[in-house]
Amino acid sequence: MRNFLIAGNWKMNGSTAMSNGLTDGIVAGMPASERVELLVCPPYPYLGTVAARIAGSGLRLGAQNVSAHAAGAYTGETAAAMLQDVGCEYVIVGHSERRAMHGESSEIVAAKFCAALAEGLKPVLCVGETLQEREEERTMTVVSEQLKAVIEMAGIDSFSSAVIAYEPVWAIGTGLTATPEQAQDVHKHIRDVIAAGNEQVAADVQILYGGSMKGENAAGLLSMPDIDGGLIGGASLNAADFLAIADAAAAQG
Ligand code: PEP
């Protein structure tokens, strides 16, 4: 049985005081369930201090982005080895904000996915359609193409060391949420795409839902057979809100 992973993407929010308080609040209220894993992805400057605060707590640490390059003259970039060095286990790649606002193609995302794996980090690969693509009934095609770019570069077995997050772009930060049935349809499709290459990898890979997930809607989404957790933006900036989602996962048994 797959564990739930409840992951917080803090985006470009916070300060030293805020990230310390948020981290401490989450650590203090983590559900005891062995089936629920919690992950926080603070901005780069706070990774080291958060790593020190969560030591021994079971709370996991990830970054929000990584360079596709291993080292060298890439001003402003951060290498996977550096993230690993400061205590990260995970890194988000392909978030729609990076695809849309920072020109990251599926090929760049795939290269970042490979760079993360090369240093033993677990990539959290984000895929998802825009509202226009959904209205044109292209959701499954778009998601398949985003997955295919990574499968072609990294190989299907790489998903045994990765997480996938289905994030409909129209639901991110908008207050709109996919219904549990809408999300389940896409999660099942994602698992089928992986299963076409390796059934065992598909059975084991965690597929998270992201898009305005909060305490009030988490239970319905997390009750779906192919939804294994959440990638949470807004509701991850408050410990009580984030823990309400973790508690909804723990209540699934
Ligand atoms: C996200 O940015 O990954 C996200 C899901 O944000 P929100 O929860 O705010 O929609």
Token code pair at residue 74: 């890439």
Would you call 167 a catalytic residue per the annotation? yes
The partner residues of 208 in beta bridges, in order of sequence, read 165
Give, in words, the CATH class of 4-250.
alpha beta
User: Which sequence spans correspond to the domains of the chain?
Assistant: 4-250
Q: What is the pLDDT of residues 5-51, one digit of tens each?
A: 999 999 999 999 999 999 999 999 999 999 999 999 999 999 999 99
Contact 41 CB / ligand 1 (< 6 Å)? no
pLDDT at 253 over 90: no
* pLDDT value of position 236: 98
Annotated active-site residue in 37, 95, 129, 133: 95
